[in-house]
Amino acid sequence: MNTVFKKRGLALIIAAGLLANHSAAQDSVKVKKPKSEPFAWGDFGWVQGNNRQKNSLLDTKYFTGSVTIDCNYNYSFNRPVDHTNSGSTATFRSNEFNISYIEAGGEFHEPVTGARAKLMLQFGTRATGIPRNDNTPLRGQYDLYNALRYVTEGYAGIHINKMHGINIDLGIFKSYVGLLSYNNFENWNYQPSYTSDNTPWFFTGARVQLFPTDKLKLELWLVNGWQTYGMFNEMPGIGYQVMWRPKEKFSILSSSYVGWDTPNEKKRLRFHTDNSAVVRYYNRPGRRFISKAAFSVTGDLGFENGGGVKPFNGDSITPAQHSISGMFYNRFWFGKKQQLAFTIGGGYINNPGRYLALLPAGNAVLSQNPGDQFEGWDASAGFQYMPNDYLTFGMEFVTRHTSVPYFSGRGGVTSPNGWNPPIGNPAGFKADLVKDENRLIFSTIFRF
């Protein structure tokens, strides 16, 4: 009896094994192995504008959350009496403690159908300062500023599992024009140079992201305008972006934009191209002194044409209106854990017509008439201490200079005591603008 049962049991085990092997073979034919995730083959946390965090603590199958709190003390040697900083999208208050940026939200992703969405809310002074040059909310009945300024990203879309991925999204999404990230936790330096400060931090519209390989991204835009919530004229802006990372030590980014963005001048066309390269030229993780070094270089060219202006070689009747800018930064990481880093660099801009210049607040500010001249250069040097993946302490010296009075002087830009009565009275007050500015920025940024 025992022998019979043993033989039958052995036969059942063999049959079950053959059935399992047959089923697995069928599955291997039916199920297609997913292609590799774009850029996941290397560590790009060192790249200017990239998040150095390797993992998210708020990551689940359907949702990945994130929280950033960015605080600074921005000391201006001009000591403006109204504590207002001019010409910057990173700092807006001088000689006082400031909560610059609070971002909270996350990304929703449904792995079976590919449905996806992202909602990131922003608070702090950047929520008011970033969109201040957008004139589209002044056209029409509804207040787009209050409706949308507290959203850094808010889009819905779908992920299609073709090639190495295709994303189609509609909403507000962050721009990578100018290389530096909207979130300063991802940047080597706190105060952007003119190239980043004067190019869009966000677009409103639609985008298609294509990943033909795990080293290449192609992105197409159809948007309302150049960092606008709405559309001022009758034509949308169009653009593209290419990101290529052939090796872990090399990243190339190129973008171009065409739009009709000048208020009350629908015939004036704007073109802009932005191009960056980031290179890690030294990498010795075990070294006690300099353990890694990299540089970023960015060059931009833009112009406007039509409606009384032309791109180059203008005259008194038809002035030239263009933008030529560039910036360069070099960064060193120190120690085996690379918790300390030093960045030095700067940039240059020439922008006749001032169509990209950030206008200072207050009365009697800069005009943006055809032919108005604007030229500037800046330099910065600073340390960042990163004790862990969630915290960055920074100290940075910035010097900036322009060909026309542009920065807040000692008298301020909103009247000596404030902007509105009963404390201040801006009537008849002329903003105190100067050509030079030196600042120290102390920052603490937490990201979870």
* pLDDT at site 364: 55
Chain centroid offset of residue 309 CA: 30
Q: What is the DSSP string of 145-167?
A: HHHHTTEEEEEEEEEE-STT-EE
Backbone dihedral angles phi then psi of residue 10, each to the nearest 5 degrees: -65, -40
Residue 316 in 3-state DSSP? coil
Measured between alpha carbons, how far is 24 from 115 in angstroms, rounded to an integer?
A: 29
- Reported pTM: 0.89
DSSP character for 36? P
For residues 133-141, give the mean pLDDT.
Answer: 85
Q: CB of 184 within 8 A of CB of 343?
A: no
Taking the CA of residue 355 as centre, how many other CA atoms within 13 Å lie in the half-sphere pointing to its CB?
29
- pLDDT at res. 2: 47
- The helix/strand/coil state of 33 is coil
What sign has the CA pseudo-torsion 36, 42, 43, 48? negative
Under DSSP, is residue 22 helix (H, G, I), strand (E, B) or coil? helix
Residue 190 has pLDDT above 70, yes or no: yes
Lowest-confidence pick of 55-69, 233-247, 409-423: 409-423
Q: Is pLDDT at 415 greater than 70 in this prediction?
A: yes
Q: Mean per-residue pLDDT for 323-340?
A: 97
Two structure tokens written together for 175: 């721009």
> Distances in Å between the alpha carbon of 374 and those of 23, 88, 183, 263?
71, 15, 27, 20
Q: Which residue has the tokens 């192609």?
A: 218
- Judge contact between 228 and 136, C-beta under 8 A: yes
How many other CB atoms are there within 10 angstroms of residue 140's CB atom? 9
pLDDT digits (tens, 9 = 90+) for 66-108: 999 999 999 999 999 999 999 999 999 999 999 999 999 999 9
Task: Name all domains of the chain by residue range, CATH numbers in brackets.
Answer: 83-92+162-441 (2.40.160)
Question: 68, 185 in Cβ contact below 8 A?
Answer: yes
* Residue 33 pLDDT exceeds 70: no
The residues, ordered by sequence, that sit 6+ positions from 276 with a Cβ below 8 Å of its Cβ are 179, 252, 253, 254, 296, 297, 298, 299
What letter does residue 220 receive in the DSSP assignment? E
Supply the pLDDT for residue 421: 73
Lowest-confidence pick of 51-55, 113-117, 118-122, 388-392: 51-55
Average pLDDT over residues 333-359: 95
Segment 371-392 shows an average pLDDT of: 97
Residue-averaged pLDDT of the chain: 90
In percent, the amount of the chain with pLDDT more than 90 equals: 76
Q: pLDDT at residue 249 above 80?
A: yes
Q: By CB neighbour count within 10 A (0-12 exposed, 13-18 middle, 19+ buried), where does 420 fall?
A: exposed
